[in-house]
Structure 1
Amino acid sequence: MSQVVSAADELEELRQLKARYCRFLDTKDVDSWRDVFTADVVVTLDMAVGVAGADPMTAPPLEGVDNFVPMVLGGLEGVATMHHCHTPELTLTSATTATGIWAMEDLLVFADGRELHGAGHYHETYQKHDGQWRIKTLHLTRTILRIRGGDGD
């Protein structure tokens, strides 16, 4: 007998997915973090605070989990991190697709004492396959980006 899943249940699954995204990223659990994405994920990261919605330092899109995960986690080796996401705006667009915007705050503490503290938004799409939601696209925009310590302090 198949169980009917309510919209509220689906939205809770999306919230749980994002919670795992943050926890696995901060604990550097590579295999589990990799599993929150579709194999063909497309990620766009704004490297500066946007001005009227435009960031002149947006990095080229990273395509595929095999490119994205090693690039991010390789760059965070030896870095203590904190990622918090909250106030989700989630919309189910079909039985197997959804969109979401999450407010975020991150803190990265490097071994040399430098710190990156930022805030912004994750703009995401999701896809459900074999009963599991995964992140299909992710675009990180920033409203705050502060770097302190090291030689620039």
Structure 2
Amino acid sequence: MNEQKTRRASAWRSRIVGSALAAGLLVGGGAAAVAFTSTSAIADNQSRASYQSSSSYRELEAKVQRLDDIEDIHQLKARYFRFVDEKKTDRLASLFTPDAKIVTDGTAFKSPQDFAQVIHDVIGAAPTAHSGYMPEVTITGPRTATGIWSMQDIMNIPAGTKGIEGHHGYGQYRETYEKAHGKWLISSVNLTRFWMEPLPAWTPPTTAAAK
């Protein structure tokens, strides 16, 4: 009788051990599956975050480049006005592409050099003040842009000058720009004055610096 009980107890122990091993395998396999799933999810999230980060960086880089290009064009136009008023016509021509199309109040010029020479001949001795404002600059490509500027110009003709009248003009520049070798240049200009007020001839007083 004791021997029979002993055999039964041994059989139960075998069943319990077998069940425990099976449960351990199931639990271990489940934990491994969970661990694998968690690792995959983390890697996927990290990859997605990396892509979003690089995408955001590219967008920010493009925005900074666009703003930098617009500011360079603002500086380009400022030099244009300054060179006209300072009578630096040789430097004025350098602000344009070689084949730039220049039209002012319906008059077309053959080249930037031709335009600069006419400026020199017409207002070389006239005190002038040019200004541009409210620019609408649009970057249309990596190396192209357009611009619209409101403008005013004052030209005072010295007394005794014949054939030319002074004026205070109001109008608009419509332009295109090209970027060559990292530098923005004016590729076309169309200046239209909407209103011109005549100004009497005037000779500026001689200053100590001019004597």
Q: Does residue 76 of structure 1 match 2:127?
A: no
Q: 1:117 aligns with which of 156, 162, 168?
A: 168
Q: Which whole-Å CA distance do the structure 1 matches of 2:103 and 2:73 have between them?
A: 20
Q: Which whole-Å CA distance do the structure 2 matches of 1:126 and 1:63 have between them?
A: 18
Q: How does 1:2-151 map to 2 (within 5 A)?
A: 6-46=65-105, 58-59=106-107, 61-112=108-159, 115-149=166-200
Structure 1 residue 63, shift from structure 2 partner: 2.6
Q: Which whole-Å CA distance do the structure 1 matches of 2:175 and 2:153 have between them?
A: 17
Q: Which runs of 5+ in 2 are unaligned?
A: 1-60, 202-211
Q: Which runs of 5+ in 1 are unaligned?
A: 47-57
Contact 2:156/2:199 (<8 A) preserved? no
SS at match of 1:14: helix
Where is the strand percentage greater, Structure 1 or Structure 2?
1
What are the Cα deviations for residues 23-66 of structure 1, in whole angstroms up to 9, with x where unaligned? 111001122211111111111111xxxxxxxxxxx22x213112
The aligned amino acid for 2:67 is A
SS at match of 1:24: helix
Structure 1 residue 83, shift from structure 2 partner: 0.3
The aligned amino acid for 1:103 is S
Tell which structure's C-alpha radius of gyration is larger: 2
Q: Which whole-Å CA distance do the structure 1 matches of 2:83 and 2:119 have between them?
A: 12
What are the Cα deviations for residues 100-134 of structure 1, in whole angstroms up to 9, with x where unaligned? 00000000011118531001000000011111111
Where is the helix percentage greater, Structure 1 or Structure 2?
2
SS at match of 1:78: coil
* Aligned match of 1:52: none
Structure 1 residue 71, shift from structure 2 partner: 1.2
TM-score (normalizing by structure 2)? 0.61
Give me the CA root mean square deviation: 1.8
TM-score (normalizing by structure 1)? 0.83
Contact 2:169/2:197 (<8 A) preserved? yes
The aligned amino acid for 1:131 is G
The aligned amino acid for 1:83 is H
